Amino acid sequence: MSFDRTLAEIRFGTGLSPRLRGPRNIDDMLRRLRGEDKAAKRYKIEPYEDFAERLARMSEQLRLRRENRGKPEGKEAEKQIAVEKRRARKAQHRWLWQTLRRRAHTQDGLRERLSFFWADHFTARGKVNIMKRASAPYVESAIRPHVNGNFADMLKAVLAQPVMLQYLDQKYSMGPDSRVGLLPASRKKGRGLNENLARELLELHTLGVDGNYSQTDVFELAELLTGLTYTPQGSFQFRGDYAQPGAEHVLGVDYGGGDATLADVHAVLERLALHPDTARHLATKLAVHFVSDAPDPMLIAHLEARYNSSGGNLGAMTEALLEHPAAWSPEPGNVKQPIDFVGSALRALNVSNEAINVNDWKRIRELVAVPLRLMGQTWEEPVGPDGWPEDDSAWITPQRFAARVGWAMSAPTIFSPSLPDPREFVVGALGTRASDEVLFAARAAEDRATGVGLVLASPAFQRM
């Protein structure tokens, strides 16, 4: 079992395209991944640094409303707050369509899949006001630039993101003996140490739930992380006056002890990134996501070894994934998550960039966002910090599969009025996976819409 062009596009990319040529070999896949991020350049999503400007404007209007209640200035601020919320909500839908356009038109599908995987690994969403719309900018700035780099760098970028700090209640986490923590006002408001970020950092992001750490390590790490916060304007900030004084003992190593600094936090992140349990945890997750709910243990061991030998380099681990025979098993792999299903369908249909105006947020909601929700994957709203489920059974329930079939039978005509001949489409969409049953259904369909819909709803198209 070795490289296969159909699998390269379906299992490790965003699907087959009738127009775009897939990679010739593994080296070609890696060359594209290491090269320029052309999809991001063409289909722009606002980086978090730009989104922070929205937060700064919102912060100013909230201040004006608070200071001018009952006055004309306060009422005007209330209007501007509503304007900012509406703009952010529309932008969130625009970024969903840009995400799908990237999948439909990229020649570097592996980058799109890795970006989604690592964003899910570091699941975060804002909780209040327009921060609830900041997930795509967070991914654009903290995740996407690092998918082929060192895991430690991604880890540092994620913990400097206000979206993550708000999501895991880190904003007001402060040491009980810190300068601010000792103030009567802080104690009156009940502010103090919060362990959420430290717990998820160990349990989900690095060592894994079965990792070799204790509750004491969680507590000590939580104290070390005090100081990580952000300004009302949405910019990352390290506050030494929030930080618990003294050294913290995490996994057998002391950190800090003098004046609290961000360097102390980075030191523990670098060590966590290189921990053997982290290598095993990440290798397992990567194999499960791309290959199978129950991957070959030899594949996991191969990924783990490459991660360790490369010093925690994600590009090296991706290369190890692609070079292992178990990754190219011809049997259909995991069930596509809804975003993968819709994205690969648009790609197979060769949907044009103009199929939906990128600013028509109502149309995007109607044709994409609502169907994704019915399929079980509300855009940027995973249930918890562990992200979307990997088990196939989570996605193929009667109601969710019915939503897939309904979309497959109705959406193609809307997205692509000139539908392809089903006899050609079945080969273009499935390649060597086109079984006799699917070929017969495509040939026997009474019209093009039915034939195309049957191909998209087929079991072969539902799997990676």
Number of domains in the chain: 2
- Alpha helices (runs of H) in 11-71, residue ranges in sequence order: 26-34, 38-42, 48-67
379: Cα within 13 Å, side-chain hemisphere: 25
In sequence order, the 6+-apart residues with CB closer than 8 A to the CB of 360 are none
Q: Is 156 domain-assigned?
A: no
Q: Which of 273, 307, 327 delimits the end of a domain? A: 273
Helix (H, G, I), strand (E, B) or coil at 199: helix
* 343 plus 448 within the same structural domain: yes
d(CA 377, CA 372): 5
Q: Which of 236, 251, 273 delimits the end of a domain? A: 273
What pLDDT is recorded for position 185? 83
d(CA 313, CA 304): 11
Q: Is 45 domain-assigned?
A: no
* 258 plus 349 within the same structural domain: no
Q: Which of 273, 288, 321 delimits the end of a domain? A: 273
Instruction: Look at strands 247-250 and 228-230 and give their pairing.
Output: unpaired
In sequence order, the 6+-apart residues with CB closer than 8 A to the CB of 318 are 30, 33, 110, 114, 148, 286
Report the candidate in 436, 420, 324 with the shortest Cα–Cα distance to residue 12: 324
Query: Which single residue is written with the structure tokens 């804002």?
Result: 126
* 360 plus 454 within the same structural domain: yes
d(CA 237, CA 265): 13
Q: Is 399 domain-assigned?
A: yes
What pLDDT is recorded for position 187? 72
Q: What is the CA radius of gyration of the chain?
A: 24
* 257 plus 343 within the same structural domain: no
Q: Is 72 domain-assigned?
A: no
Q: Is 176 domain-assigned?
A: yes
Q: Is 179 domain-assigned?
A: yes
pTM comes to 0.97
In sequence order, the 6+-apart residues with CB closer than 8 A to the CB of 2 are 325, 328
Q: Is 221 domain-assigned?
A: yes
Q: Which two tokens stand for residue 137?
A: 């900018």
Angle between helices 109-121 and 72-105 (to 10 degrees): 130
Determine the straight-line distance between the first and last CA of the chain, rounded to whole angstroms.
Answer: 16
Query: Amino acid identity of 185?
Result: A
Domain of 356, in residue numbers: 338-462
Q: Is 200 domain-assigned?
A: yes
Residue pLDDT tens, the chain, 464 long: 689 999 999 999 999 999 999 999 999 999 999 999 999 999 999 999 999 999 999 999 999 999 999 999 999 999 999 999 999 999 999 999 999 999 999 999 999 999 999 999 999 999 999 999 999 999 999 999 999 999 999 999 999 999 999 999 999 999 999 999 999 887 767 789 999 999 999 999 999 999 999 999 999 999 999 999 999 999 999 999 999 999 999 999 999 998 999 999 999 999 999 999 999 999 999 999 999 999 999 999 999 999 999 999 999 999 999 999 999 999 889 999 999 999 999 999 999 998 999 999 999 999 999 999 999 999 999 999 999 999 999 999 999 999 999 999 999 999 998 999 999 999 999 999 999 999 999 999 999 999 999 999 999 999 99
Report the candidate in 117, 116, 124, 133 with the shortest Cα–Cα distance to residue 50: 133
